[in-house]
Structure 1
Amino acid sequence: MSHEVEIGGFKVGAGQRPFLIAGPCVIESEQLVMDTAGAIAGIATSLGLPYVFKSSFDKANRTSINSFRGPGLEKGLAVLKKVKNQFGLPVLTDVHTEEQATEAGKVVDVLQIPAFLCRQTDLLIAAAKTGKVVNVKKGQFLSPHEMGNAVKKIEECGSRNIILTERGSSFGYNNLIVDMRSFPIMRSFGYPVVFDATHSVQLPGGGGTKSGGQREFVEPLACAAAGAGVDGFFMEVHPNPDEALSDGPNMVPLHQLKSLLERVLRICDAANPKK
């Protein structure tokens, strides 16, 4: 069983009700971030759902060199700080280098290690040393058992503020699958496990110079994960995904989020009646 990890003013794992990590893939503008954060916060509050806002200041692993990456570290952290101050929300962002981890750790509550970088020892150590919660996404190329090595690297730095996230495994070219066995396997390491419902329906590189996605499968996969038992859900959400500058094909439209979460939570409550 996983133990509790504190994020902002609430605890996750160890029998707590599932929590939500959600927001636009990348910081496209301050206005978009503030509008989306406020709207999702309202939905989460109405459902009694602990909520962490997510958006990235830099998407360093875009398919094409011409793809939009974000406003950069300084401007991006300023926007995330405004979300914290205005809405009182804990915030999460990706980091790709040790220097980014150190600087972002001064502002955000959760540092996220992208799936492609989950084996980068120096990055894991730098994130752990900030004292903030570290959310490690399982690489598409790893078995869930191998995530125990990432956990051990962080623990060796004296940190127990760890979350593990499943985001699908490579299955042939430009396709991902989700192995539901990964949730109990990764939970066995003693930390909360999150399901990334939107990146799991991504078609990596499927658009040639960009990734494709099948957002119509977000709900069935999220429902399956709810039944399998997870501690939280990660969903990238946008008011108009078809116009998003990153990950549009796999993001949840904002107007569909509440009904999706209502169904997922009903399954969580049925599968785990003590939560």
Structure 2
Amino acid sequence: MLIKRLNMVLIAGPCVIESKEQIFKIADYLQKYIGKYDFYFKASFDKANRTSLDSYRGPGLEKGLEILAEVKEKYGYKLLTDVHETWQVKPAAEVVDVLQIPAFLCRQTDLLVEAAKTDKIVNIKKGQFMNPADMKYSVLKVLKTRGCDEVSYENSKKYGVWLTERGTTFGYGNLVVDMRSLVIMREFAPVIFDATHSVQMPGGAGGKSSGKREYVPYLSKAAAAVGIDGFFFETHYNPDEALSDGPNMITPDMLDNILKDIDCINKCQGE
């Protein structure tokens, strides 16, 4: 039997920091979710795994963390951001509350161990190439570093380790979500569903990724019906003009409607 979730985690914000104005505009809108959910504001200071060398990556570590720190100071938000290399972990941990391990790096031992040495939550995104059951070994790398030798949902929750599902490679340029993975991974860690990256089409736009944001509401409702700990939505006012992940990001209005549906499903489940 799956363990009942107590307070839904909501992670939202733009894929990458494009400008200070962009960040504060979306951060201001998302204030409505404080208190209603266990809310985390998300934005990346660097996207190191872009398809093309010419793609926009972000403002970089120093400038990006400076902007995120201002968001935290103004809104009191808990923050989540990606780290791609071990040297980024310590400075990022001085600002954010959750260190996210990108999907392509989910087995990168040195990065997992370095993140585990901090007192921050470590959110490991399941690689698009990974068997969900094998994610327990990535979790265990963090747990062992933090002094725990047994993988379980309760231990992962206690020691601050999350897993995020973002789809599995399905042929070339497409992802598919196997809803069984949510059940499998939730046996040994709290599970977040990344609804926006799950509709991404890697490399589908010729040197950059495409996506099908119109499927985000359907996958979100399916994940809510399975029963998970939270949701991840990359959110942008003008997704079609975004500098990264535009085709799979959603607008604030879409987010509002999706959350209404999720709330109804949770209510039916007695949450």
Give TM-score scaled by structure 1 length: 0.92
Cα distance in structure 2, aligned partners of 1:255 and 1:30: 21
1:220-272 CA distances to partner (integer Å, 9 max, x unpaired)?
A: 0000000000100000000010010000000011222111111111112213x
Cα distance in structure 1, aligned partners of 2:34 and 2:94: 26
Aligned residues: 260
**Residue number in structure 2 paired with 1:131:** 119
What is the aligned counterpart of 2:30 among 36, 40, 44? 40
Displacement of 1:2? 7.8
**Residue number in structure 2 paired with 1:239:** 237
What is the aligned counterpart of 1:104 among 92, 110, 113? 92
**Residue number in structure 2 paired with 1:73:** 61
Where does structure 2 lack aligned partners over 5 or more consecutive residues?
148-158
What is the aligned counterpart of 1:18 among 8, 16, 21? 8
What is the aligned counterpart of 1:224 among 208, 211, 222? 222
Q: Could you tell me which amino acid in structure 2 is paired with residue 52 of structure 1?
A: Y
More displaced stretch, 115-124 vs 48-57: 48-57
Secondary structure at the counterpart of residue 101 of structure 1: helix
2:178 aligned with 1:179, yes or no?
Answer: yes
**Residue number in structure 2 paired with 1:8:** none
**Does the 8 Å CA contact 1:140/1:168 hold for their aligned counterparts?**
yes
Cα distance in structure 1, aligned partners of 2:90 and 2:114: 7
**Does the 8 Å CA contact 2:5/2:228 hold for their aligned counterparts?**
no
Give TM-score scaled by structure 2 length: 0.93
**Does the 8 Å CA contact 1:240/1:254 hold for their aligned counterparts?**
no
Matches within 5 A, 1:87-166: 87-158=75-146, 160-166=159-165
Structure 1 runs (4+) greater than 2 angstroms displaced: none
Secondary structure at the counterpart of residue 208 of structure 2: coil
CA RMSD of aligned residues (A): 1.3
Cα distance in structure 2, aligned partners of 1:29 and 1:105: 22
**Does the 8 Å CA contact 2:51/2:209 hold for their aligned counterparts?**
yes
Cα distance in structure 2, aligned partners of 1:45 and 1:127: 26
Cα distance in structure 1, aligned partners of 2:172 and 2:267: 36
Displacement of 1:40? 1.3
Where does structure 1 lack aligned partners over 5 or more consecutive residues?
4-13
Q: Could you tell me which amino acid in structure 1 is paired with residue 230 of structure 2?
A: G
Matches within 5 A, 1:51-62: 51-62=39-50
Secondary structure at the counterpart of residue 205 of structure 1: coil
